[in-house]
Amino acid sequence: MTQQGGMVMCQLKDCPKADCEKPIRTKDDCCPVCPDPAGRVDEMDNSPVIIQQQTDGINGKMEDCISGGRYYLHGTTWHPVMGPFGPMDCVNCKCKSGRIECQRLECPSRPALGCERPVKVAGRCCPVCPLYEGDIQGPVTPLLSSSPITGTRSNIQGTSGMDSSSKIRTSNRPLPPHSSSSLIKSSTHHANFTLCLPKEYDVVVYRAQGGGNASEFIQYIFQQVVNGYAIEHHLWMLQPMVTTYKVQDLTRDQSEALRQRFRFVLLGATATKHVKRFTKREKKLKPKCLPNSGCPKKIRRLERNLVLQEVTSRRACLPIEVEANTR
């Protein structure tokens, strides 16, 4: 169960196959687990350790966090990864309004556990009391991770409130080819050169895409570079049971910090009216982005609405172009 944007989201747990001869069950977990033969319950360190970390330069208006190159939504908890040691099972980190707080888990004492022989479980910090045959009904049968999940998935979507009855309309016009000269960041091109956009175009578009084993993200940055300085950030977080879509305004420093942390590529130039159409299509797509529905491809298809054109770098823009204000 997770909390996000004032909503509580729940999902059924898939149990991985227990890779041992004699898996056990515990009171606080519905899945069978393997005891850790190397685990020692006498030497548990209960001393609290609190680590507080702010995300660099982007926590002004952003409630989410970035740690180890991964994006975490506000309210998400995780085990930090420490180099070759892997995940630290005895430390929990939580994202709180752009601030990362980590604390060592406090394990209960042996008397508090209520059993004579607590067991250390692989991948768990604190020892637990196993359930024996007399405590449960039926044999212990490992559940595979492919166990079906039942229920109405639309009831546990992330925050949106968008109308799901509208159809998605996209243009069949193919994207124009992008030359290597268009993939230029404003912070790296030569001081004597300027970025040039086609006339009637006033926005440059960046995209980043990535993720881990259980989640995927797609981000867009729309930076107004003609007759304005507005920067808009669109974030899609695609998780096994929850799809999150959010739009927020960024400062120039926040935009630069995001582009440094993630591998954003410059897609090209577009116009403000095309960005509005793209955003409208995104909002219509959000309720339809169910797990295993090919949502990343559908999001990428929406880029047709941007009618992207090349951005070129020249000493002086041509009469049919407009100069980008990137300073």
Residue 202 in this model has a pLDDT that exceeds 90: yes
Q: Report pLDDT for 258.
A: 86
pLDDT at 27: 67
Q: What is the pLDDT of residue 28?
A: 67
Which pLDDT score, from 0 to 100, does residue 247 have?
Answer: 93
**Any residues with CB less than 8 A from the CB of 204 and at least 6 apart, and which?**
195, 197, 222, 223, 225, 266, 268, 269, 270, 311, 324
Report how far residue 317's alpha carbon sits from residue 31's, in angstroms, rounded to the nearest whole number: 64
Mean pLDDT of 29-37: 74
Q: Is 300 helix (H, G, I), strand (E, B) or coil?
A: helix
Rank 46-55, 104-113, 222-231 by mean pLDDT and report only the highest.
222-231
288 pLDDT higher than 50 = yes
Is 65:72 a contact under the CB 8 Å cutoff?
A: yes
Q: Of 12-26, 94-108, 145-159, which range is least confident?
A: 145-159
Check residue 185 and give its pLDDT: 37
**In the predicted structure, residue 94 carries a pLDDT above the cut 90:** no
Pull the structure tokens for residue 307.
């009618």
Nearest to 143 by CA among 29, 19, 16: 16
Give 118 or 207, the one with higher predicted confidence.
Answer: 207
pLDDT at 139 over 70: no
- pLDDT category at 144 given cuts 50, 70, 90 is very low
How far is 202 from 229, CA to CA, in rounded Å? 10
- When pLDDT is averaged across residues 117-125 and rounded to a whole number, the result is 78
Q: What is the pLDDT of residue 198?
A: 92
* Greatest mean pLDDT range, 61-70, 220-229, 241-250, 302-311: 302-311
Whole-number mean pLDDT of the chain?
71
Q: Kindly tell me if the per-residue pLDDT of 112 is higher than 70.
A: yes
Contacts of 326 (CB under 8 A, 6+ apart): 186, 194, 195, 225
Give me the torsion for CA of 185, 186, 190, 194, rounded to 10°: 120
CA distance 68 to 72: 10
Statement: residue 68 has pLDDT above 70? no
CA 199 to chain centroid: 36
Distance CA 42, CA 110 (A): 9
As to burial, measured by CB atoms within 10 angstroms (0-12 exposed, 13-18 middle, 19+ buried), residue 266 is buried
Distance, in Å, from the CA atom of 58 to the CA atom of 255, rounded to the nearest integer, reads 8
Q: Cα dihedral sign for 84, 92, 140, 150?
A: negative
Whether residue 220 has pLDDT greater than 90: yes
More confident residue, 218 or 81: 218
Say what the pLDDT of residue 214 is: 64
What pTM value is reported for the model?
A: 0.49
